[in-house]
Structure 1
Amino acid sequence: MWTPFVQCWTRRSRAFDTGNFSKLLPTSNFTLNMSNTPDATRLNPPDQGPAVRDLAANERFRQKVVDLLGGDPDSIWHGGYVDHVWEKCRQPLVQYLGQSRAKRVLEFGCNLGATSVVLAHLGAKVDAIDIDTRYIEIAVENAARHGFTDEIRFGCHADSTALPWPDGTFDFIACNSVLEYVPFAILPAVLSELDRILAPGGIVFVAGTSNRLSPIEIHSRRWFINYMPRSFGPAASDVERGLFPWDVLGGFPGYTQLDVEDRSSTYFDWKRAAGMSASRRAVLHAVDAVSRPLGLPVALLLPSFSTALRKPA
């Protein structure tokens, strides 16, 4: 049995005992529910999303959302976030988990654990980390209320530039709406750590990241904040959270952009499954036909950008 835990190392105490940490976080080892068809890169996903199964854990989850965050447990970003991720993001998770033949999965910056719950529902056992103990406390209950206490292992680790796993530990890393929150000064070091712990041939999937190419910042909904130079000081860093796509791509040198490799077919399958209209997809197809040969598939050009990158084998 995997035991979820809540423990946090402060940034000032980087010299933690890696041996003890590895006892708390043993290497994941599991088999995904792969299709028996010749196309073994596809998963056999369940038809329905994760359901709430533990009413006591559900009540604890709801109360912690109120007590720790002052949030509304019925909002889409709290109690409804698992359903939102299932509806909007399961298709690429299914595809890329299968392509990477993932046995070891990490969610980096897990927030309330919604993506981890969806990954567990797809058959994965997941390590999930965040820098905020409040989110970890709530994420533990989120997993429990969906019946995935044994499948997801949570930990709080405040220094993302020194992660506690050996080289090549994970086959798949998910970064859902998180990298724009990493202080820009340490972003290269954080991406280097993710590269270090990803196994050869593994996939890192970045989704929902605020794009500095966009005139409107997707979190604050403020116009032109993305274009404010970082040199304007703390006031600027407090309001703009966007990243340029190349800020992320540059952290994974030599990786293959899967949207370039598959001509954005996975991206458009994803958006069709998530409910994007045919007319909008047609417009994006036209843009993609021009931008993708330049190394910028359309998924990198939207206000909220995504990319899937495969490490060289």
Structure 2
Amino acid sequence: MLKTPETTPLNASHDGPRVQDLVADQRFRQKIRDLLRGDPDSIWHGGYVDHVWEKCREPLVQYLRKTKARRVLEFGCNIGATSVVLAHLGVKVDAVDIDRKYIDIAQENAARYGFSQEVRFSCHADSTVLPWEDETFDFIVCNSVLEYVPFAILPAVLSELGRVLAPGGILFVAGTSNRLSPIEIHSRRWFINYLPRRFGPAAHDVERGLFPWEVLRGFPGYAQLDVEDRSRTYFDWKKSSGMSAPKRAVLNAVDAMSRPFGLPVALLLPSFSTAVRKPA
């Protein structure tokens, strides 16, 4: 259960997760090599937990406190980095992915940080029918995943996430490739975002962004928290993750102009984020 401010505060200090189990660490490193043909020391493998802690800790802390979450879901957990950070912040996590090899690696990732009991991983191939009852989770995190969902099933997936989110719960979308951007952030291709999905040599390439409203319309009637709090959480996040004051000032000016139209600046950047709260 989340330790609320009235009891013991969240572990929101600058002391992030640290590897505790060297045997599990060696298993993790070997699985990165064997299953992904990857470098265990890269930022997206061995360094991914540190990256999430440094770049995404602030909104996770703030939204966990707002919800006083008891059940948390990471949807599309990849190698489990965000789940490890959530566990380090003091919550129990369910984490799901469609690919068994990522679940195998994620389990070792959690084990090497000492969080095997705090995170429950599962592989579930059909994201349109999640294996949980209605209103199970108080907080759901989708970190750099929704752009990989086949576009044809995206509405059904978003509806399913809404189904398992409890009334008053928050769904947080972070690091999602924005189709408004001329450069797709994962492939680094220029203008691929602007081509129709059925056109061109990459017509079946999932590495295209999403328009922010393609996500938001999946949650009708939900409160958009960046609009509600005038992007305060967003700018706290960017300050804590090292964004320079001049850049924040520019984004603040853009936000002041765009937010009244329901488009806070967090939705306009090449990697967009949003947080929505389900009606109570």
TM-score, normalization by structure 2: 0.97
Partner residue, 2:221: 254
Partner residue, 2:17: 50
Provide structure 2 residue ranges, at least 5 long, that are not aligned to the other structure: none
Contact 2:148 2:206 (8 Å CA) reproduced = no
The Cα offsets for residues 63-110 of structure 1, whole Å up to 9 and x where unpaired, read as: 000000000000000000000000000000000011011000000000
Partner residue, 1:97: 64
Distance 2:238 2:128 in 1: 33
Distance 1:109 1:234 in 2: 27
Contact 1:46 1:122 (8 Å CA) reproduced = no
Q: CA RMSD in A?
A: 1.4
SS in structure 1 at match of 2:169: strand
AA aligned to 2:25 is: N
Partner residue, 2:4: 34
AA aligned to 1:195 is: G
SS in structure 2 at match of 1:175: strand
Deviation, 1:298, is 0.1
Equivalent runs, 1:159-174 vs 2, <5 Å: 159-174=126-141
SS in structure 1 at match of 2:167: strand
Equivalent runs, 1:69-218 vs 2, <5 Å: 69-218=36-185
Distance 1:52 1:60 in 2: 13
Equivalent runs, 1:291-302 vs 2, <5 Å: 291-302=258-269
Distance 1:275 1:101 in 2: 27
AA aligned to 2:44 is: W
The Cα offsets for residues 217-240 of structure 1, whole Å up to 9 and x where unpaired, read as: 000111100001012177323164
Partner residue, 1:17: none
Identity of aligned residues (%): 79
Distance 1:145 1:44 in 2: 19
AA aligned to 2:241 is: A
TM-score, normalization by structure 1: 0.87
SS in structure 1 at match of 2:202: helix
Distance 2:90 2:158 in 1: 26
SS in structure 2 at match of 1:138: helix
Provide structure 1 residue ranges, at least 5 long, that are not aligned to the other structure: 1-29
Contact 2:136 2:165 (8 Å CA) reproduced = yes
Partner residue, 1:15: none
Question: How many pairs align?
Answer: 280
Distance 1:105 1:46 in 2: 20
1:290 pairs with 2:257: yes
Contact 1:211 1:301 (8 Å CA) reproduced = yes
Distance 2:19 2:245 in 1: 33
